Structure 1
Amino acid sequence: MRKLLTFLAAAAVLLASPLAQAERLKDLATIAGVRENQLSGYGIVVGLDGTGDQTTQTPFTVQSIAAMLQQQGVSLPPGTALQLKNVAAVMVTTSLPAFAQPGQTIDITVSSIGNAKSLRGGTLVMTPLKGADGQIYAMAQGNVLVGGVGAQAGGAQTVVNHLSVGKISNGATVERAVANSLGADNQIRLELKQTDFATAARVVEAVNNHFGPGIATALDGRVVRVRTPSSSDQRVAFLGILQGLDVSPDKGAAKVIMNARTGSVVMNQAVMLEACAISHGNLSVTITNDTQVSQPNPRSGGQTAVTQNASIEIRKDPGKVLNVPGGASLAEVVKAMNAIGASPQDLLSILQALKAAGSLRAELEII
């Protein structure tokens, strides 16, 4: 634990260095309208080796097979009870990239929604993939690749990795393109990934210094409007240069993120402490039971008795009081916690107490 805190202290020193680190504009902002679109569809995987859905518990699998056979011109007699072991109902999901055109292929993920034991060796039957508007944008089909293996015998079972999810590389073909209004009215909108007025102002300054005054205008702390050339080829070249511009983002608000389930504590370099004193000590109580068996002498007529001898030990480690000067940086905060031997779980309580006392100049967020 001391090694972990020492590493954090070293990292904090590096973060607190005066060297300003510029980032590419493409890492700080996205272009409005240039995005992926999620697609999904309901399909059937066939050709499994007896690891498919149990049809008595997944009636929708039987209904899907009956409907598919009906479309293929095969009519089942009324009341036919299908006992299928090589078929599994699945959900097919993928993301349609920006500017994808009909005929392009994309990767898909196939996930079992029934009680199939494995999708290994199965084949996905042609499945339409729809968007949020209900329109079909791609068609999926192919052999499912599962990155795992499982075996069972004599009541024992061994499974390596996840067998109910697989992927198909280039398993879907795009059938419809998504309309895009990039460059409409000879302008685009840059949307910062984190709302920050200072960073938005620096983006405007960087763009105008490179392309000329009046090219970029900040609409608010998140959106920057940029004028673009009218022709498509010039616009593409312009956006390529634009996304490669270096911008030094503002360091942002001081924030401490705490995960109460794992005990993880993450602080950024803007975290500061007011003058305060921190005390830390541990109280541990240990209770043990020593089981003893009392055996009577032969022919004494007594009975065997089991007794429990409880032992209670209370140990209190000596507490430490550490004085932290006002304006302490992240490096000094971590060093202070390391000096009193605080674990990540102890940091949760200490930082909450510092925030309640008004000594922690940062936003405290518990996830």
Structure 2
Amino acid sequence: MGSVPVEILQAVDAIGQPDLDWAARAASRQSCLTMPPGSLGRLLELGRQLASLQRTDRPVGEPSLVAVFAADHGVAASGVSAYPSEVTGQMVANYLHGGAAVNVLARRAGAAIRVVNLGVASLPKDLVGHDQLEAHPIASGTRNFLLEPAMTREQAFQSVRVGLQLAEQWTGHDGYRVVALGEMGIGNTTSSSALLAALTKSPVDRVVGRGTGLDDEGYLRKCRVIDEALAIHGPKFVDVWDLLSRLGGFEILGLAGLALGAARNRALVVLDGLISTVAGLIAVRLCPSIKGFLVASHVGPEPGHRIALAEIGITPLLDLGLRLGEGTGAVLALPLIASAADLLREMATFDSAGISGPS
């Protein structure tokens, strides 16, 4: 059994706690702003969180980036998705051409997009060498975990390392202060649901949803596949890395690494739907102190999403019935996060505006 690479251990050790002194200073400033106490609700909480990460009572909520990590899943061969696996590569092309929902929403929010290939099985030929595609394939998709472990332990480590390295580039060198986690991979709700069931010991029927739109037969098949996989692999788990390698996806573990790396650089990490939130839960299991760097953008109809959020212990900002993934919900939260920072920096105080404060 391979030991955890030093690079991962050092990254985890380097993640500090949010600075509560700065959160308190931000709260003190908020109490002087021209509004009744607490009247901007969750925006004030977001502002204090940003202050605690950036160690200032004048934080910023930009620049922001949405990272879409893509990879295929061997378990898709077991009929757990309404779409064929080649859609993963086709959607990667759509992201690069600017035509997906996340592209539209990111343009509106003023967020940059980075698309990463962690293991797309059928990548369109015209995307090979594309200058806007970050190519870090671990393999041509995972293996079918109904038959064997999804990946080797080393591949699990490698997936997380890719996320760490990209986080260092984006939040260290490039200066992004907010990172939204997006994903694409046919079959990844099955992998995420299996991971969630194993990590939380939740019954399969409580965490499994219909994903991309399964009918009743497909939904029951998906539940059976996960039940059988847990029966096969569950007795063999020796540690969390063994669990992740048996049931995980390259893009899911890559996002967990990205979250860890972004937190190391004290950037805010915005979770999206089920898959992204399970990646956040994995990051929390690897480094509990990362919780204070996470924001839940929304809660969707996938039943496991609420369970994952509750396990992390964070409350979503929005409830819009979203179940697309890609980072769409996370991008919708970006203007709220930027607004929370703007209020701390730009809003007048009672004294500066010459307004009588509360008696």
Alignment TM-score, normalising by the size of structure 2: 0.17
Which structure's CA Rg is the greater one? 1
Structure number with higher relative contact order (C-alpha < 8 Å, ≥ 6 residues apart): 2
More strand by share: 1
More helix by share: 2
Alignment TM-score, normalising by the size of structure 1: 0.17
